[in-house]
Structure 1
Amino acid sequence: MLNFLKKPHPFIFNAYSVAIPGVASFLIILLLAPLDFKGMEITQRSIYALCIGGFVSIIIFSTVKLLQKLFPTVTQEDRWTIGKEISLFLLVVLLITLGIFLGIFILYGTHESAWQLFVKTAFISICISFFPIVILVLFEQYLQQKKQFKYAQQLTQSLKAENQKLQTEKQHETTSDQQLQLKAENGKVELQLFASELICLQSDGNYVEVFYEIDKTVHKKLLRNRLKSLEEFLPKTTFFRCHNRFIINGNYIVHVTGNARNLELTLRGMDATIPVSRSKATQISEFIQTL
């Protein structure tokens, strides 16, 4: 369960994020008239629906903006997770509940205890908020998926010319003749190869897995070092830190795919795809254009 909550999730906040829950709340109260709203006449229900819909939109906008200002690191796209998305949802529902509760208590009072009124308000708020938020999440996921898919297609198209060049051994050998020396943290040279032979590097705790190709065969070597230390010795025109755990050789990229969470790279000779951090999505495009 904990691993599920830590999974990356796209942090999406735009005009739809504010408008859709408000409009959906308005329509649910006006047309479906759930719970106590059913006994109200249409004019009164319309006023309540309009006020609650507007209040929902204001709460969502204010909450997200406040979180971004107070906790800018937490709300970064690369650090946003499913757990944080659920927490944000619960926080918004709690604030909506408190707002509606205080509005009813101050304007109309109650014959019930404050706690009973709060519980009742919370139940109503959850029932009304659930469907608008689900609609919003699905809609945002759809737009993000569509956007990422189109972006990935554009990147793949830009790779075609380069990929065609790399099909021949001659082009592969002349991509770069710079010789690299990959050292362990004690300074000892563990691997010596040409830049054109190095496919990618993957951080694995205190070690780095080095994937390289010699005579069309992919090899792997484990070095005790930090990825950041090795990155300093790699030519930036050829290698790109696409993720906090990965550095890739741009000349090995053959395909780019995208989903609502992030972009993924398919490298020639590698079975698994390589993730691209959401903060690096724009940079990877610029990097590919310079290859």
Structure 2
Amino acid sequence: MFKIFNKPHPFIFNTYSIVIPGMAAFLIILLLAPFQFQEIEILQRSLYALLIALFVSASIFFTVKLLQKLFPAFMKEDNWTIGREVLLFLMVIFLIVLGIFASIFFTYTGNESIVQLFLKTTFFTVCISFFPIVILVLFEQYRQQKIQFNRAQKLTETLKAENEKLQSETIQYAISANQIQLKAENGKVALQLFPSEIICLQSDGNYVDVFYEVDKVVTKKLIRNRLKNLEETLTTSNFFRCHHRFMVNGNYITKVEGNARNLELTLRGIEFKIPVSRAKVKDVSSFLQTLKKSS
């Protein structure tokens, strides 16, 4: 269960995140009239539905904005997970429950105790909120999936147009460029390669795996050092830090794929896909354009 909650999840907060739950709550109360709403006349029910819809939308907006201001580290997009998404929804629902309970409490004339009234309000609110939340999640997932797919398709088309040109110029680039010395933590040279021979670097704490290609043979070398230190050596425009654990050579990118969570890069000679950090997604397009111009 904890593994599921720790899985990455896209943090999506836009106009739809505010409007859709409010509209869904309005239509549910007005048309379906759950619980005791069917006993209220249509005009009065419409007013109740509108007020509740506005309160739902306002609760979502101010909850997210307040959390972003008070807990910026918790609300950081790169760290967003399924568990945090669920927690955010629970917090919003709790605030909605408190608001509705407060409005009912000051006008309530029945015989129920405060506890019974609160539990009843919570039950009704959770039941009504369930469908707007499901609708919102499905809509946002579909929309994000479509955005990422279109972005990946566009980037892949750019790569296809330039890939042959980049590969044909690799040999010439290798001859003209100076070799780079990749040093270990103790200062000793662990690898000496042309920039064009380096495919990517993968960090694992104090160690970095360097994937490189010489005479069409891909090799992996483990170096005791941090990726941040090696990054300072790779100063040419061909290299891109796409993730906190990965740095890639743009000349080896053959395909860009995307889903609702993130983008992934396919590199020539590498079997696994390279993730793109959510904070770096917008930079991929600019990097490829720069790479295209420099070629």
User: What TM-score do the two structures reach when normalised by structure 2?
Assistant: 0.94
Look up the equivalent residue of 1:244 and give its one-letter code.
Answer: H
Structure 1 residues 235 and 174: alpha-carbon distance in aligned structure 2, compared to 1, 3 A threshold: farther
The question of whether the paired residues in 1 share the 8 Å contact of 2:159 and 2:254 is answered with: yes
Extract unaligned runs of 5+ from structure 1: none
Look up the equivalent residue of 1:31 and give its one-letter code.
Answer: L
In structure 2, the partner of 1:183 is: 183
- After alignment, is 215-224 or 104-113 more displaced? 104-113
- After alignment, is 197-206 or 108-117 more displaced? 108-117
Deviation at 1:110, TM superposition (A): 4.0
In structure 1, the partner of 2:99 is: 99
Question: Which string of whole-angstrom CA distances, capped at 9 and with x for unpartnered residues, describes residues 213-239 of structure 1?
Answer: 112121111111111011010024011
- Work out whether 1:118 is the aligned partner of 2:122: no
Question: SS state of the match for residue 52, structure 1?
Answer: helix
* Root-mean-square deviation over aligned CA pairs: 1.4
Deviation at 1:72, TM superposition (A): 2.3
In structure 2, the partner of 1:281 is: 281
- After alignment, is 131-140 or 67-76 more displaced? 67-76
Alignment of 1:44-193 (within 5 A): 44-168=44-168, 171-176=169-174, 177-193=177-193
Question: Which string of whole-angstrom CA distances, capped at 9 and with x for unpartnered residues, describes residues 72-127 of structure 1?
Answer: 23222212111111010000000000101111001224421211111111111111
Question: SS state of the match for residue 106, structure 2?
Answer: helix
Cα distance in 2, alignment partners of residues 188 and 257 from structure 1: 38
Cα distance in 1, alignment partners of residues 281 and 229 from structure 2: 23
Extract unaligned runs of 5+ from structure 2: none
Look up the equivalent residue of 1:181 and give its one-letter code.
Answer: Q
Look up the equivalent residue of 1:138 and give its one-letter code.
Answer: L
Alignment of 1:260-275 (within 5 A): 260-275=260-275
- After alignment, is 149-158 or 250-259 more displaced? 149-158
- Work out whether 1:253 is the aligned partner of 2:253: yes
Question: Which string of whole-angstrom CA distances, capped at 9 and with x for unpartnered residues, describes residues 190-209 of structure 1?
Answer: 11111111100111122111
Cα distance in 2, alignment partners of residues 275 and 197 from structure 1: 21
Look up the equivalent residue of 2:28 and give its one-letter code.
Answer: I
Look up the equivalent residue of 1:174 and give its one-letter code.
Answer: Q
Look up the equivalent residue of 2:274 and give its one-letter code.
Answer: I
Deviation at 1:254, TM superposition (A): 0.6
Question: Which string of whole-angstrom CA distances, capped at 9 and with x for unpartnered residues, describes residues 152-175 of structure 1?
Answer: 12211222233112444xx32223
- After alignment, is 89-98 or 61-70 more displaced? 61-70
User: What TM-score do the two structures reach when normalised by structure 1?
Assistant: 0.95
Look up the equivalent residue of 1:239 and give its one-letter code.
Answer: F
Cα distance in 1, alignment partners of residues 42 and 48 from structure 2: 10
The question of whether the paired residues in 1 share the 8 Å contact of 2:243 and 2:276 is answered with: yes
Structure 1 residues 225 and 109: alpha-carbon distance in aligned structure 2, compared to 1, 3 A threshold: farther
Alignment: residue pair count:
289
Deviation at 1:39, TM superposition (A): 2.6
Structure 1 residues 126 and 236: alpha-carbon distance in aligned structure 2, compared to 1, 3 A threshold: farther
Question: Which string of whole-angstrom CA distances, capped at 9 and with x for unpartnered residues, describes residues 18-60 of structure 1?
Answer: 1100010011111111122233232232222111111101101
Question: SS state of the match for residue 10, structure 1?
Answer: coil
Cα distance in 2, alignment partners of residues 31 and 40 from structure 1: 12
- Work out whether 1:9 is the aligned partner of 2:22: no
Fraction of identical pairs, as percent: 66
